[in-house]
Amino acid sequence: MQIEFLDALPSPAIRLQARLLPEDTLPEGLEPVLAQAAKAARFTAKSGQIFEGYVERDGQLLRLALAGIGKAEDGKPDVDARRATLEKAGAGLVAKYRTSGEEALLLDLSGSALNAGEVASVLLGARLRGWRQDGYRTTLKDDQKRSLARIAVLGAPEGSAAAWADAAAVADGVEFTRTLVTEPANVLYPESFVARCREALAGTGVEITVLDEAEMTALGMGALLGVAQGSARPPRLLAMVWNGGEKGGKPTAFVGKGVTFDSGGISLKQPGGMEDMKWDMGGAGAVAGTMLTLARRGAKANVVGICGLVENMPDGNAQRPGDVVTSLSGQTIEVINTDAEGRLVLADALTWAQRSFAPAAIVDLATLTGAIIAALAHEYAGIFANDDTLADALTAAGKASGDRLWRFPMGPVYDKMIDSPIADMKNTGSRYGGSITAAQFLARYIDKGTPWAHLDIAGTVWADKPGATWDKGATGYGVRLLDRYVRDVLEKV
């Protein structure tokens, strides 16, 4: 969606116009009939409220929307809550008019008393809510097609364009992640995932390294390769390096699980809902989107994004339950369940990240367990960590960005649940504490002294119904969280 800033009313006027209003206010000079209608409809400009009417101005019929942004808090405001409220206001307008037949919306900020950062929040909500994947839909009726493609902003305070440029970089990353997560598995697989990232990151300054199957075999990545061996799609390991911080400074590593389709392998999943497993690469998608955001806004930090990319399929060469594989770290794994494959992919990706980049800290993201959905539903992602400072910083970034996290325990009492009688470990524990034992598995691949956090995002990358700033489908979870962590921690060092 195109966003532009205007200094004066365009001529001819844009037919669809909207005003943002603080609670219990109406615009000065509003036509009496419209003001009376708004009052009759009990419009009080509460957060998320929208009232629509029609007026004639200068011989032209205009479609006018009044959108509430609630009350600004007195004293010490909750900045993050205010941001969420403003995003909701912008998103609400786009949700209402996205398929209205209107191609442009004039957003008049006169009298809204918003600062530049708040304007950017409104526009971010509008743009994120406007995203929808329609590339494969060829029979939509006219009233189902997206029409709204442009928002023209009038009366914005000084600095709004710069604030929006920064927020637009975040939108770019979220939308890229949503696109990757939404694509079907016959279109997005390890090789094409890499190609999409090369295309999106071209010219941004991000350096890309890709390992193919032969290179991973030579290194000894038996855990990752074991997952991939049943698929006709060859695996890839992708590294995206952004050096925007101190020269020679250690990077922070973001590592994503990229299972582009998960059939479960020989431990085949139930048919019902298996189509959803195209989004089992949501962690890798979030990492790729984050790298695009950091590069687009020129983040002053050193970050490397690493994606382990495989497809998990059940052919005659597929990994079997009971197989023992040797990971890059040298540790051996008894594969009890081939559907617990994401941790095998991450095991080698984490080891390679540490050997190749010696990161100051590691954050991995993975749609790892159904157990995390049983615990948290679709409202939070789970966080597991070996470092309280890192966990607290990520949790705070989650609260601030809206990509929320809830911390779970770890410890030796859970670790013993994945001990194997014939190998160093097995890839599943008992039926209880599945998310925790998965995290304990990953912890065995973290070098002593390296701060690490694991984010289980299985319940948050996809939504069965629209949310505040997303439509049904891919949410783009993780990009805003990681970007906020970079802003609040890495760029303030």
The long-range contacts involving 82-87, CB below 8 angstroms and separated by at least 24 positions, are 82/118, 82/121, 83/118, 83/121, 84/402, 84/468, 85/47, 86/114, 86/118, 86/121, 86/122, 86/125, 87/121, 87/122, 87/124, 87/125, 87/128, 87/402, 87/468, 87/469
**Residue 343 is a catalytic residue:** yes
Q: Which residue is catalytic, options 98, 343, 426, 484? A: 343
φ, ψ at 169 (rounded to 5°): -65, -35
Angle at CA of residue 70, ends 65 and 89, nearest 5°? 50
Contact criterion met (CB below 8 Å) for 234 and 228 = yes
Q: Taking Cα atoms as reference points, which of 400, 381, 371, 378 lies closest to residue 489?
A: 400
Bridge-based pairing of strands 60-68 and 16-21 is: parallel
Task: Please tell me whether the peptide bond between 12 and the residue prior to it is cis, using omega within 30 degrees of 0.
Answer: yes
SS3 154: strand
Six-digit token pair at 146? 């997206």
Q: Indicate if 269 belongs to the active site.
A: yes
Catalytic pick from 96, 269, 404, 407? 269
**Computed over its alpha carbons, how large is the radius of gyration of the chain?**
24
3-state secondary structure of 43: coil
Rounded-to-integer distance, Cα 273 and Cα 492, Å: 43
Catalytic machinery residues: 269, 343
